[in-house]
């Protein structure tokens, strides 16, 4: 049985609700990108947080299709999403590292 449109919206809404921390991080990354410009650290932070949030919401919506797809396909879906989640986390961490390095070098130059 296919999930209805309202069920999908329900899961997207509660996926966002349970991911408020990730939405907050995305908002901070957007603010930083608009404030600082398109530097490598801001782009990596923004891409990582977008991928992270999308994977989180998609995981919650994918639960609806577990019965339709069967366990094998759902397991494959979960593995692919975990791979994208790892990629998003990796991009975020690299961007954060570049931000810290740039901040520390700026502080070092001031002294």
Buried-state track 29-48, b at ≥16 Cβ within 10 A, e below 16? beebbeeeeeeebbbbbbbb
Q: What is the pLDDT along the chain (111 residues), one digit of tens a residue?
A: 677 788 778 877 877 777 788 889 999 999 999 998 889 999 999 999 999 988 888 887 787 777 778 888 888 888 999 999 999 999 999 999 999 998 888 777 776
- Rounded Cα distance between 8 and 17, Å, is 14
- Rounded Cα distance between 68 and 7, Å, is 14
Quote the pTM value: 0.79
- Rounded Cα distance between 59 and 39, Å, is 30
């Amino acid at each position: 049985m296919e999930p209805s449109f309202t069920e999908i919206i329900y899961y997207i809404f509660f996926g966002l609700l349970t991911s408020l921390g990730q939405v907050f991080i995305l908002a901070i990354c957007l603010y930083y990108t608009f404030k600082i410009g398109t530097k490598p650290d801001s782009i990596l932070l923004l891409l990582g947080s977008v991928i992270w949030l999308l994977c989180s919401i998609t995981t919650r919506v994918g639960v609806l299709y577990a019965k339709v797809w069967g366990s094998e396909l759902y397991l494959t879906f979960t593995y692919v999403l975990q791979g994208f989640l790892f990629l998003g986390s990796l991009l975020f961490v690299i961007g954060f590292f570049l931000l810290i390095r740039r901040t520390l070098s700026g502080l070092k130059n001031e002294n």
